[in-house]
Amino acid sequence: MAERDCRIAVLISGSGSNLQAILDGCASGAIPARVALVVSNRDDAAGLARARRAGVPATVVNHRRYPDRQSFDAALQAAIEAGGADLVVLAGFMRILGSGFVRHYQGRLLNIHPSLLPKYRGLDTHQRALAAGDVEAGATVHFVTDELDGGAPVLQASVSINEGDDAAALAARVLAREHIIYPLAVRWFAEGRLRLRDGRAWLDDTPLPLCGYRYEKDAAT
């Protein structure tokens, strides 16, 4: 980002631990950006308190108060535009966004999904990985497109599935990895190194692997 700091809007629905990891990254200087705004679609999202503690404006756009997705998306977009965001980060945001919204933010809209995409799009990812007898699980940061959890992957981190794991144990282990890879992807974007080009994520002058950069396998840059 050239003339001024990258400004980030973070959209949440719940605990906001990924939001916290990004706030911490900005505060420590690891991410050359600042969280300009946090928006929740739920009044009771615990992450709202994290934003307020960090001195970041936090607002609620509750989907229940809008008659349809289009008007909800429009209200969300208005809130984001008021904060002047360069990057929109979905961090546990549990609403599907319409194609107009997604197109508007194309190339500057990131999500984190708790599976090794393309496996297990949608919900209950950890339960599904356990039921399938997988030996590993993980999380993926990806650009958002119209297709649910289908946009270009940026970064993946995996954990092994251990004997006796239940979905909660697995989710906790994966979440700890999310807190590493999401701030890293945001850092790349804020440094102007991460782009979406022709449906593919690029880092510097190189297209990233189709499943994203594998955090453990390759040394982090």
| Nearest CA among 170, 143, 173, 172 for reference residue 155 | 143
Residues written for the chain = 221
Residue placing its CB nearer to ligand GRF in the complex, 12 or 85? 12
d(CA 65, CA 135): 43
Q: Is residue 178 at the binding interface for ligand GRF, with CB under 6 A as the rule? A: yes
Q: Is residue 153 at the binding interface for ligand GRF, with CB under 6 A as the rule? A: no
Give the DSSP letter of residue 216.
T
What is the 3-state composition of the chain as percent helix, strand, coil, each rounded to the nearest 5?
Answer: 35, 25, 40
Contact pattern from residue 47 through residue 66 relative to ligand GRF, giving x for each residue in contact according to CB under 6 A and a dash for the rest: x-------------------
Q: Is residue 112 at the binding interface for ligand GRF, with CB under 6 A as the rule? A: yes
Selected range binding ligand GRF among 15-23, 27-35, 160-168, 207-215, rule: CB under 6 A: 15-23
Helix (H, G, I), strand (E, B) or coil at 196: strand
Among 36, 37, 48, 91, binds ligand GRF (CB under 6 A): 91
Among 17, 40, 77, 145, binds ligand GRF (CB under 6 A): 17
Contact 113, 121 (CB under 8 A): yes
Among 6, 9, 10, 18, binds ligand GRF (CB under 6 A): 18
113 is catalytic: yes
Give the DSSP letter of residue 211.
T
Residue placing its CB nearer to ligand GRF in the complex, 91 or 208? 91
Count of residues engaged in binding ligand GRF, rule: CB under 6 A: 15
DSSP 146-159: SSTT-SPEEEEEEE
Q: Is residue 92 at the binding interface for ligand GRF, with CB under 6 A as the rule? A: yes
Residue placing its CB nearer to ligand GRF in the complex, 40 or 68? 40
Catalytic residue among 113, 126, 142, 179: 113
Among 14, 32, 107, 209, binds ligand GRF (CB under 6 A): 14
Structure tokens at 65: 């108060």
Residue placing its CB nearer to ligand GRF in the complex, 70 or 109? 109
d(CA 103, CA 106): 5
| Nearest CA among 29, 80, 22 for reference residue 51 | 22
Q: Is residue 77 at the binding interface for ligand GRF, with CB under 6 A as the rule? A: no
Q: Is 117 left (phi over 0), alpha (psi -120 to 50) or beta?
A: beta
Site of interaction with ligand GRF (CB under 6 A) = 12, 14-18, 47, 91-92, 112-114, 139, 175, 178
Positions annotated as catalytic residues are 113
